[in-house]
Chain A
Amino acid sequence: MFSKALFKQSMKANWVKWVMATASTCIMLAIVIIVLGNLGINNIRDQLKEVFTQADQQSYLKTSSIDSYDLYLNAVDFENGMVMLDESNMDMASLLWGYVTRGYDNALSSYQPADPEAELTEEDYEIIRNNAVDSVYDQIIGLLDMFPQYAEDFNFTETELKQLLYFMMLTYEDNPDFTGGEATNEKVISAIKTRFLDYVQDNAYATALSQEDATEETALASAMSARELASDAFDSYDDQKASAETDGGTFVYDNDNFKTLANDYVNNMIYNQVLTSFTLGSDGDLSEEEQAEAEQMAVASKVMSNTAITTYEFWIKELTTDEDGLPLDLTDEQLAQAYAQAREEATKSITDQIDAEVSKALEELGNMDIYSLIIGSIFYRIAGLLMPMVFVIMTANGLLAGQVDSGSMAYVLSTPTKRRTVTVTQMTYLIVSLFAMFALLTITSVIAVWISGGNAFAINYEQILLFNLGAFLTMFAIAGFCFMCSALFNRTKYSLGIGGGVTIFSLVCTILGLFGSTVVPSAMRISAMNFFNYLSVITLYDTVSIMAGSLAYLWKFAILLGIGIVCFIVGIFRFDKKDLPL
């Protein structure tokens, strides 16, 4: 079944082609890997990626600035309410507390959940709270109608009052017996204030946790800083009030007056946060250089925060007042919408300002792995296959069809050598030569990867080995096909025409299909071109799957192996039975 003499003869006839194909492919591969590994071809990509991360960071910074700013102003408002309750002629807080507890109890007992058996959920409680708030609010408005003399002290807007009532509900819900007996004005006020701070803290924690790459630690820190901010806002209200009253004047509350304070406060907070993050990032000790950089970053962040808040204010003004600066007549819903729009405008980053599709394309470009594209999809599937293909097409033809066509096969077959021996020997030669070629290619690629930094390189050893295995299996399938054509036809023109034609067609289809495949960023991709991938056997060599680490490449490898084996067997059996014009 195997003739050593014939094998030697095939080696002598084809070694030049083999050396050419192997050497050129090895050189190409080494250059590709080493050059890519040392040029830092991913720099541009990294920069682009940095732009996107920065944009994200900026957007986050701006959002948190505005959040803090809103919170500050809200806290000041809240404190104003508390002060109002405190300074009213009658024990207003204590009075309201009575209404609130009764209202809440009523709402709770009258609430009919969808499923009476189940325990009440947070959503159920939210409904109960709102019901209670509405009924208590109605009662208070009724009372004020009856006793107009109190309305002077009770200077709340509907929203403010409802918010106040809501917090009282929360307080009552958590701790119905906090007063430990009589609910005095002072006790109630301090309890609500504490509950407000708790609420702020919980909210900030939840928001921080919902962020990408948030940790427990950072969430806790931002929750604490939110609580601190609210409490500082209370203090700043008290300071303002006190300083206004020391000169014997009266303090008239206007939320607008606190805007500058809030802005400054938030700016400084951001500045400090950025500085601290730098200190935490390093191990405590910052070099002078690092310190300078931290300072620079902190100042930049501060400016950005200021800009965001100013923009926010500008947009609020633009959206809620008319040309003369008078407030427009807006419903609550419209107002909320205006605020949301203002916030959106203020937190816009670079990426938000460009078209969504372009932005996506740019982001994809940033995420693209140029190494796997060039080494995997371009070198191993196209450039690196070309020389082995030429070798296989020419050699496979020369091993059988060429010798039959020229007639030189007669010399082999006029010796006691079976046709089966000839085909098996020639097949062995083709496979062994391919195997040797890819063994050398594998060694070259492993060395090149080692030079480029080993596993630290964009493509690790395992992936590069799989690339080589895949390329070998692809060539195995192609060699099988070319061998089959060589065994089937007596004429070189048919064997070369069909074997070589289909092979080169596959390669060209892979080149065209590349422009439709997902490895190419969408900016350069023409998805219709993906059609060509269905026409090429090389598509079964799935470099994307290898890079992604999924196992889809395994069954495709199996198919390639199968194609090769079937073709070789068909070729061998057919050659046994056909007429040879020798």
Chain B
Amino acid sequence: MEYVIEAKHLTKDYGDKRGIFDLNFSIKKGEVFGFVGTNGSGKTTTIRHIMGFLKAQKGSVTVMGLDSWKNSCEIKKYVEYVPGEIAFPDLKDGNTFLKAQAELLNLKSMDYANYLVDKLQLDPSANLKRMSKGMKQKTAIVAAFMADKDIIILDEANTGLDPLMRETFTEILLDEKKKGKTILMSSQSFDELEQVCDRVALIFNGHIIDIADMKDIKESKFKDFKIEFLSREEYLKFKRLKYEVVRDQEKYNQVTIKVKDSDVNRLFRTLKNYHLKFMSEVKYNLEKYFKSVLAKEYLRQEEELKRAKEKDISEKTKAEIKQEKHENKLHAKKVSEEEKSEKFFNKPKHKQEKRENKKQIKEIKSIKKEVLKSDRKYKKIIKKIDKGGKDVQ
């Protein structure tokens, strides 16, 4: 069994372009796999499919080789889950809940649960309804993790935790990773994903746009440095050197350059002769990476949309004009016939109609013009975003 979790052409269409479409990914044993994406992009839906709560319309998800819908009970022997929405059963306090959960899990020992409680500094004797969001999140984490199963699925498990607790939680995750567990987590926090994940998938509007390997990002061969010079002369002088400038802030005598790892020494040697105000490395991280990917995706989609619209409009216009011409012809024919019998009355009427037709054609043309105009505007925006993307890179 090569893959622990494997999704093939997983599709669930809720209509209105919502849902998930043709997702394919696979997670190896011991791998930590992350999901990022904007709200409503389909992370939770994907996780629900993996848990066997939803039935796929097309494709399938397997967990440990078992279809997660058909064997939804079997796979739970391997999977522990922290749901995104925290709502506990109607029980008195945290202890009662954890005990009930342990009973459902057939747990003999609460040792690991107690360890987690201590580690997360959770007071499980508190009333479940009166717990703060962070407390609830901790309780949910303990309830899931205490089973100590092989696969951990987390749906935005660190929301509501204070920064210190986030660190603790990340520690716990790293511990689990060390134990060789397979983890699938969705998160809004790039930091967390960066620290824990081996691979991260970006989901956008129900599609996986990109799966990034953290190794590649972490071990990027380029570094960005932000440098501010004390004097303008030196700033200008530096700019003349052939470094790749990513961002230039003339106002502050500031420049951000991209340097190959092998060129770092050369840079420092160069800078020896300059007076700097400060210099810092701008880390190349997941967030930046995905922002650029996302920007590209936006562009692509909007362009697509644009093209479709344009095509639509031009086709429509062509058809309309054709139709009108045809109608006019017919009309003219009809009118000429009528003219023969009733010359006097029909002539002016005919002219007027012709004029109206012309007017309509003009209107259509002006609409077309406007569309083209907005298109140009659009291209400008796209260019800007392009720049931004470069900035990131």
Q: Please report A residues at the B interface, Cβ cutoff 8 Å.
A: 3-6, 8-9, 12-14, 398, 403, 406-408, 410-419, 577, 579-582
Contacts and interface: CB of A to CB of B under 8 A. Distances in A.
B73 interface: yes
10 contacts: A3-B104, A4-B103, A406-B85, A406-B87, A408-B89, A410-B81, A411-B143, A416-B76, A577-B55, A580-B53
Nearest to B79: A414
B88 A411 contact: yes
Given A8-B103, A411-B89, A582-B51, 5 more contacts: A4-B103, A12-B96, A13-B91, A411-B97, A418-B73
B103 to A, nearest CB: 4
Given A6-B104, A582-B83, A414 B51 contact: yes
B90 A414 contact: no
Given A415-B104, A416-B73, A580-B54, A407 B87 contact: yes
Given A411-B101, A415-B105, A582-B48, A9 B81 contact: no
A403 B81 contact: no
B261 to A, nearest CB: 45
B53 A579 contact: yes
A406 B128 CA distance: 14
A9 B105 CA distance: 14
A454 B76 CA distance: 58
Contact of B92 (A3, A5, A6, A12): A12
B100 interface: yes
B72 interface: yes
Contacts of B87: 406-408
Nearest to B92: A12
A9 B103 CA distance: 10
B105 A403 contact: no
Nearest to B52: A413
A13 B76 contact: no
Contacts of B88: 408, 411
B257 interface: no
Contact of A9 (B53, B79, B80, B89): B89
A62 to B, nearest CB: 75
B116 interface: no
Contact of A410 (B74, B83, B97, B106): B83
A87 B96 CA distance: 118
B144 A414 contact: yes
Among all A-B residue pairs, the 5 with the closest Cβ atoms: A5-B103, A406-B87, A13-B90, A414-B81, A407-B85
Contacts of B96: 12
B257 to A, nearest CB: 49
A77 to B, nearest CB: 96
A8 B97 CA distance: 11
Contacts of A398: 90
B86 interface: yes
Contacts of A581: 48, 53-54
B369 interface: no
Given A411-B89, A416-B73, A579-B53, A5 B100 contact: yes
Interface of B: 48, 51, 53-55, 72-74, 76-77, 79-81, 83, 85-92, 96-97, 100-101, 103-106, 143-144, 147
B89 A403 contact: yes
A581 B81 CA distance: 14
A408 to B, nearest CB: 4
Contacts of B91: 9, 12-13
B142 to A, nearest CB: 12
A577 B70 CA distance: 10
B227 to A, nearest CB: 51
The A interface, classified by DSSP as helix, strand, loop or mixed, is: helix
Contacts of A6: 104
Contacts of A407: 83, 85-87
Nearest to A576: B72
Contacts of A579: 53-55
Contacts of A414: 51, 76, 79-81, 83, 144
B144 A416 contact: no
A417 B101 contact: no
A417 B104 contact: yes
A66 to B, nearest CB: 80
A14, A398, A414, A419: most-surrounded residue (chain B CB, <10 A): A414
Contact of A415 (B76, B85, B86): B76
Contacts of A419: 72-73
Nearest to A413: B53
Nearest to B55: A579
A8 B81 contact: no
A398 B87 CA distance: 13
A387 B105 CA distance: 35
A417 B53 contact: no
Contacts of A4: 103
Contacts of B48: 580-582
A529 B144 CA distance: 57
The winner among A5, A8, A403, A411 for most chain B CB atoms within 10 A is A411
A407 B81 CA distance: 13
Contacts of B74: 416
B130 to A, nearest CB: 16
Contact of A416 (B53, B77, B83, B85): B77
Highest count of chain A CB atoms <10 Å: which of B48, B74, B89: B89
A335 to B, nearest CB: 90
A408 B96 CA distance: 14
A9 B100 contact: yes
B99 to A, nearest CB: 9
A489 to B, nearest CB: 16
B53 A415 contact: no
A415 B90 CA distance: 17
Contacts of B80: 414
Contacts of B85: 406-407, 410
A412 B87 CA distance: 12
A416 B101 CA distance: 11
Contact of B76 (A5, A413, A577): A413
Contacts of B103: 4-5, 8
B280 to A, nearest CB: 44
By CB atoms of chain B within 10 A, which of A6, A403, A410, A412 has the most?
A410
A567 to B, nearest CB: 24
Nearest to B90: A13
A351 to B, nearest CB: 63
A327 B101 CA distance: 107
A222 to B, nearest CB: 78
A137 B80 CA distance: 119
